[in-house]
Amino acid sequence: MTLQEFSELNSVRRLRDLARTPFDLARPNALGVGRFREYRVAMAGYDYLYATQRLDNQVLASLQALADEAGLVDQFLAMKRGAVMNRIEGLASENRQVLHTACRDVFSADPANREASAQAAEQLARLRRFLDDSGQGRLVNQRGEPFTTMVQVGIGGSDLGPRALYLALQRYQLPGRSARSIANVDPDDPAAVLAGLDLSRTLFNVVSKSGTTLETLTNEQLVRDALARAGLDPARHLLAVTGAGSPMDDPRRYLASFHMFDYIGGRYSVTSMVGGVTLGFVLGYEAFAEILAGAHAVDVAAEERSIRANIPLLMALIGIWNRNFLGHETLAVLPYSQALSRFPAHLQQCDMESNGKSVSRCGRPVAWQTGPVVWGEPGTNGQHAFYQLLHQGTTVVPAEFIGFRQSQYGRDVTVEGTTSQQKLVANMLAQSLALATGQSSDNPNRSFPGNRPNSVLLADRLSPRSMGALLALYEAKIAFQGFCWNINSFDQEGVQLGKVLAGKLLAELAERNKGMGGALAENSPEQAMLEAAGIIQ
Amino acid sequence: MTLQEFSELNSVRRLRDLARTPFDLARPNALGVGRFREYRVAMAGYDYLYATQRLDNQVLASLQALADEAGLVDQFLAMKRGAVMNRIEGLASENRQVLHTACRDVFSADPANREASAQAAEQLARLRRFLDDSGQGRLVNQRGEPFTTMVQVGIGGSDLGPRALYLALQRYQLPGRSARSIANVDPDDPAAVLAGLDLSRTLFNVVSKSGTTLETLTNEQLVRDALARAGLDPARHLLAVTGAGSPMDDPRRYLASFHMFDYIGGRYSVTSMVGGVTLGFVLGYEAFAEILAGAHAVDVAAEERSIRANIPLLMALIGIWNRNFLGHETLAVLPYSQALSRFPAHLQQCDMESNGKSVSRCGRPVAWQTGPVVWGEPGTNGQHAFYQLLHQGTTVVPAEFIGFRQSQYGRDVTVEGTTSQQKLVANMLAQSLALATGQSSDNPNRSFPGNRPNSVLLADRLSPRSMGALLALYEAKIAFQGFCWNINSFDQEGVQLGKVLAGKLLAELAERNKGMGGALAENSPEQAMLEAAGIIQ
């Protein structure tokens, strides 16, 4: 596979021309029935409606050409089969395979990457035995009682995805079971969580691939201390999910241990044991398998080469159209589902840590924009918060709506002739239309310029399967965009400098704690900042 | 007061010149001890450190000139005294005073606006009696038991601020008391909350100024139904906070009622009864009074005319420097405090709904950028999520860090020689430095360009008083920015079009629910979208 710089692709030049006169959504009759019927893709239980994007068939043809020219589906296939996609030519880099898709490729006789899927299946079988043991009363606390609560102790990829999915699927939790999370090194995070728990009935799932994540090790220590103070044996309450050979890979210190692998980055690890242990404990093994099946269905469907039949590929290209050609810096992800309240936070990591890059895979600084700032909150809440800016601000914010035709609980009420679920969906569609079409008025303060590009992703109900599919849709979208921008979406060198500087400041504080003076050079910026902040004198 | 368009101010021209060569934070020795000592303001318990912004004394002098020329402090004083600041010249507009500051101006004999403060004091006295009654066992349920839980039922300004403050101050809640929130019209929001409650011990505080907010009325109905099904009398479990004369202003239907006033916008209403009832119930009257005192201290200190001694004024102007002169579209608010996890969501409303505008107060379309996209998540969590893009993305995102020297719970552990609280603060300061200075490397993928402007807001501990101060710091900052941009920060016409379109879609669905065909014109975009979404055939 030859790597090609984004700015040198022929279709990029063509798209630049087309971007001079993007489709005008705000002109009269711009949105006809035919456009809504045509600009719609169905895949893996989702409908993707994109009539309210600023594009037409010419743009779509050029986006298809871009997908073909950059070999996006071929790169996706290569990734799934085990190519070393986490690398940069000519530079020291991680040089790893990227095989999160293998975690859910455990249902067929012929997986895309046999070895990784076999490793995933082995961990899954261990998980199943563990869950059977705890479900059937073989795994109990010192008093012989079953465990009711699992606390996920992890940060970043070991927190955000599992937390988002747990909240999304809380409706389906097994009777008497629930989950909590501890992530932040802020000691008030564990203090607040631990204050509300019956420790004797609680398992703590400590998750760190390297086994050296500072926040997680510190919080593990806080948890061990709290258990010991309560007269409980930490080794009977803690689980570990870590890489083989890591400092945490020591089964004697944990009730059970599971492995994660180098070829799965933290932000892509929800469907590995990183998410599996807690989600399996709370929802049951079958529900976790449904999540995997939903994700796998998307991984397979994403091999489709026609952008008009491949939702994540089309989402990726429309995102590039908005980012690189129409010039929009941000992307709002707006789920009309309270259960998805933390899904945007997961996407912030998955997208911004993957594609917030400025070096191409050829090792050169990029001469084009890469990943946008991703943010969002559930609707209808957001309508009463920041939508004012979306409609009438001076910055255009492309939006991705996510909705479901049915609620999870089915407990609804009819007010003014419609159910709450109908109000929810109607509001989402109305916002999509309003952002697109706008409205003129004699009063400029009541005018809406429209032409705010957006699209709608819609499924029947948020369930383990559709949640798995949604997760994989965004994972594939992000990978396709990275392939197209010719960046490495799978490393995160940008987090290193902050770590190094924090280490210097902490060395200073550790010396001072010991009464040893300090570790920093006099008049260094680090020392000056600690002084200005009133942390040291 | 004469309104002046932002682009016509002399200091704006001068700042445009200066923006051609902004201060280079990344050059060697750019950040000396003197800069850290000089670029620091103390006010109302907070230190604001801004050495890591791209400015120097020339820029600061011009920002001071901008503040003076635009009369920012005079406008703030006028607002507090009761001027009609919610208006646009020559256009139909709300024409209201803006007096959220009066809610906390209840401690002095000589408040800035006597009438509004008297009304606030009256409501506060009612609240105090209500809280005394419930604390002293005079207000009990049908079985004579005290109430333990209060559920805030409201959306937007009636939800985000109170929710953010409750989470921030949960550490201080009275024994046996807690709060929950129901906001979304998504029926799964109330279903999930109600499923976890002992209804007999729960009060529901229904909050809507107009008494007509669709989401809130619908959720009130769901709550009433649930109470009735449980054999409980809704009128003994529901409270109301609403405007005098609204459809909800009917004390017979509620256990207690409180008033809110036209001159306080929803997003500025946390310190009114909108936040007071739930925060008072959970934290106690004295803690709520502390919140008010903290906010009032800022409201008074914000009258200072020197930008070097006025944190919200300086934050406002630095925000304008970054937005209008250095061209940055977004602002990340990054609290290094898990308790502030929802404070950025409150700011999204307070800031983006206030300043996401494109018409000046002179009634003309603005020719300059207004409010940025505001977003953020707590650190250190964010470091493991989206900070990659902050450090190495192609978009520069200005950042505001918020931190505290001490934790709330004081339950800490020393690992590798430092406490968790030290690790938390050290990480925040290290990120501030790393974003500013960057670092070069032979490996371009390990290079950091730096010059990512940011600042740090720091107090001793997050308490009711410092939380009130933080709230008011941002409220004042947002008001100062709106004054400077010459926009009306106090209306929200941008939410209307979506409401109108949602009403059309819901009329269609209501007709269909009745088996009456539909209400929409054949082939209208609304009908086509409902069809494309599979909501109607």
pLDDT digits (tens, 9 = 90+) for A383-438: 999 999 999 999 999 999 999 999 999 999 999 999 999 999 999 999 999 999 99
End-to-end alpha carbon distance in chain A: 57
Disruptive mutation site among B394, B421, B489 for chain A (greatest number of A CBs within 10 Å):
B394
Closest approach of chain A CAs to the CA of B529, in angstroms?
6
Among the listed residues A215, A220, A353, A400, the single catalytic one is: A353
Predicted confidence band of residue B359 (pLDDT cuts 50, 70, 90): very high
The mean pLDDT of chain B is 97
Closest-CA distance, A393 to chain B, in angstroms, reads 4
Residue (of B409, B397, B270, B411) closest to B334 by Cα position: B397
For residues A183-197, b (16+ Cβ closer than 10 Å) or e, as one string? bbbbbbbbbbbbeeb
Please tell me whether residue B261 adopts helix, strand or coil conformation.
Answer: coil
The verdict on a CB contact (< 8 Å) between B377 and A526 is: no
Secondary-structure breakdown of chain A: helix, strand, coil percentages, each rounded to the nearest 5: 50, 15, 40
CATH number of B115-291: 3.40.50.10490
CA distance B369 to A457: 31
Q: Tell me which chain A residue has its CA closest to the CA of residue B381.
A: A184
Q: What percent of chain A has pLDDT over 90?
A: 97
Q: Which of A195, A352, A425 sits opposite B386 (nearest CB)?
A: A352
Give the contacts of A491 (CB within 8 A, at least 6 positions apart): A86, A88, A93, A94, B445
Chain B residues within an 8 Å CB radius of A230: none
Is the pLDDT score of A1 beyond 80? no
Asked whether the beta carbons of B49 and B40 are under 8 A apart, the reply is yes
Mutate to test the interface with A, among B46, B172, B389 (most CBs of A within 10 A): B389
CB-nearest partner of A358 from B392, B422, B528: B392
Quick one: pLDDT at residue A530? 96
Cα B392 to Cα B23: distance, rounded to the nearest angstrom: 20
pTM exceeds cut of 0.95: yes
Query: Parallel, antiparallel, or unpaired for β B414-415 and B418-419?
Result: antiparallel
Q: Are A339 and A170 in contact (CB under 8 A)?
A: yes
Q: What is the distance between the alpha carbons of residues A509 and B417, in angstroms, rounded to a whole number?
A: 8
Best residue in A369, A407, A497, A537 to probe B by mutation, most B CBs within 10 Å? Answer: A497
CA distance A285 to chain B (A): 22
The closest CB to that of B49, out of A417, A424, A532, belongs to A532
Active site residue A514: no
What ipTM score was computed for the predicted complex, to two decimals? 0.97
**What is the per-residue pLDDT across A287-337, written as a single tens digit (0 to 9) for each?**
999 999 999 999 999 999 999 999 999 999 999 999 999 999 999 999 999
Reported as a pLDDT band with limits 50, 70 and 90, residue A183 is very high
How far is C-alpha B118 from the chain's CA centre? 25
What whole-number distance in Å separates Cα of residue A332 and Cα of residue A399?
A: 5
Residues constituting chain B: 537
**Residue among A53, A44, A243, A250 at smallest CA distance from A158:** A243
Q: Using one digit for the tens of pLDDT, what is the confidence trace for B431-460? A: 999 999 999 999 999 999 999 999 999 999
Q: Which of A337, A285, A378, A377 is nearest to A460 (CA)?
A: A337
Q: What is the pLDDT of residue A537?
A: 86
What pLDDT does B114 receive? 97
Distance, CA of A114 to CA of A120 (rounded, Å):
10
Question: What is the spatial distance between Cα B487 and Cα B363, in angstroms, rounded to a whole number?
Answer: 9
Confidence (pLDDT) at A387: 98
Average pLDDT score over residue span A142-165: 97
**Are the Cβ atoms of A339 and B418 closer than 8 angstroms?**
no
- Please write down the HEC assignment for all residues of B391-454: HHCCCCCCEEEEEECCCCCCCCCEECCEEHHHHHHHHHHHHHHHHHHCECCCCHHHCECCCCCE
Give ∠ CA A365-A368-A369 in degrees, rounded to 5: 110
B177: left (phi over 0), alpha (psi -120 to 50) or beta: beta
Start-to-end CA distance of chain B, whole Å, equals 57
Contact yes or no for A494 and B186 at CB 8 A: no
- The answer to whether the peptide bond before residue B414 is cis (omega within 30 degrees of 0) is no
In this complex, the residue of B186, B215, B446 whose CB is nearest that of residue A496 is: B446
Q: Classify each residue of B506-522 as buried b or exposed e, where b means 16 or more C-beta atoms within 10 Å of its C-beta.
A: bbbbbbbeeeeeebbee
Contact A381 B426 (CB under 8 A): no
The answer to whether the peptide bond before residue A148 is cis (omega within 30 degrees of 0) is: no
Give the bridge partners for B182, in sequence order: B153
For residue range A500-529, list pLDDT tens digits in order: 999 999 999 999 999 988 899 988 999 999
Cross-chain Cβ contact A339/B188 below 8 Å: yes
Interface contact flag, B497 A434, Cβ < 8 Å: yes
Integer CA distances (angstroms), A352 to A77, A259, A335, in order:
23, 26, 18
Instruction: Yes or no: say if B495 and A387 are a contact pair by the CB < 8 Å rule.
Output: yes
On whether the CB atoms of residues A92 and A259 are closer than 8 A, the answer is: no
Indicate the CATH number for domain A6-95+302-491: 3.40.50.10490
A290 to each of A104, A171, A433, A467, A468, how far by Cα in Å? 10, 15, 34, 9, 7
**In this complex, do B218 and A420 lie within 8 Å of one another by their Cβ atoms?**
yes
Which residues of B are identified as catalytic? 353, 384, 499
Kind plus residue range of the DSSP H or E element containing B326: none
Nearest to A535 by CA among B241, B132, B49: B49
B273 in Cβ contact with B154 (< 8 Å): no
Give the span between the Cα atoms of A326 and A36, in whole angstroms: 22
How far is the alpha carbon of B501 from chain A, nearest alpha carbon, in Å?
5
Question: Is the CB of B526 less than 8 angstroms away from the CB of A157?
Answer: no
Q: What's the CA gap between B56 and B27, in Å, rounded?
A: 14
Give the DSSP H/E element, type plus range, for residue A29: none
What's the pLDDT at A516? 81
Residues of A in contact with B432 (CB under 8 A): 529
Considering only the beta carbons, identify the residue of A373, A395, A430 that sits closest to B502: A430
CB contact under 8 A, A506 and B416: yes
How far is C-alpha A492 from the geometric centre of its chain's CA atoms?
15
For residue B537, name the pLDDT band (cuts at 50, 70, 90): confident
Read out DSSP for A424-472? HHHHHHHHHHHHHH-B--SSGGG-B-----EEEEEES---HHHHHHHHH
pLDDT at B517: 85
Residue in chain B closest to A213 (alpha carbons) equals B384
Angle, vertex CA A185, rays to CA A179 and CA A190, nearest 5: 40
Percent share of chain B, pLDDT over 90? 97
**What is the rounded distance in angstroms from the CA atom of residue B258 to the CA atom of residue B291?**
19
Ranges of each domain in chain A:
6-95+302-491, 105-293, 494-532
Instruction: Provide the pLDDT for residue A2.
Output: 82
pLDDT score for B319: 98
Determine phi and psi for B187, rounding to 5 degrees: -65, -20
pLDDT at A506: 97
Dist CA B241 CA B256 (whole Å)? 9
Question: Which chain B residue's Cα is nearest to A458?
Answer: B533
Pick B409's closest partner by Cβ from A188, A378, A529.
Answer: A188
Active-site annotation holds for A346: no
Count other C-beta atoms under 10 Å from residue A348's C-beta: 25
φ and ψ of B160, to 5 deg: -65, -45
User: Across the interface, do A386 and B356 touch by the CB < 8 Å criterion?
Assistant: yes
What pLDDT is stored for residue B516 in this prediction? 82
| Structural Rg of chain A based on CA atoms | 25
> Is A192 within 8 Å of B178 (Cβ atoms)?
no
Tokens in use for A455? Answer: 């699209």
Catalytic residue check, A353: yes
Round to whole Å and give the CA distance between B306 and B286: 33
Of A33, A170, A363, the CB nearest to B528: A33
Q: Please answer yes or no on whether B384 and A266 come within 8 Å at the CB atom.
A: yes
Closest to A272 (Cα-Cα) out of A136, A124, A371, A415: A124
- Rounded to whole angstroms, the Cα distance separating A498 from B432 reads 8
Task: Give the closest residue to A265 by CA, choosing from A287, A243, A283.
Answer: A243
Is residue A102 over pLDDT 90? yes
Residue A387 and residue B345: Cβ atoms within 8 Å?
Answer: no
In this prediction, residues A38-48 reach a mean pLDDT of 98
Place of tokens 């996920």: A152
| CB contact at 8 A, B100 and B272 | yes
Fold of A105-293: Rossmann fold (3.40.50)
Closest Cα of chain A to B110: distance in Å? 34
Give the pairing type, strands B40-43 and B46-49.
antiparallel
Looking at every residue in chain A, the average pLDDT score rounds to 97
For residues A465-493, give the mean pLDDT. 98
Burial B392-427 (b: 16+ CB within 10 A, else e): bbbbbbbbbbbbbbbbbbebbbebeebbbbbbbbbb
- Residue pair A526/A501 in contact by the 8 Å Cβ criterion: yes
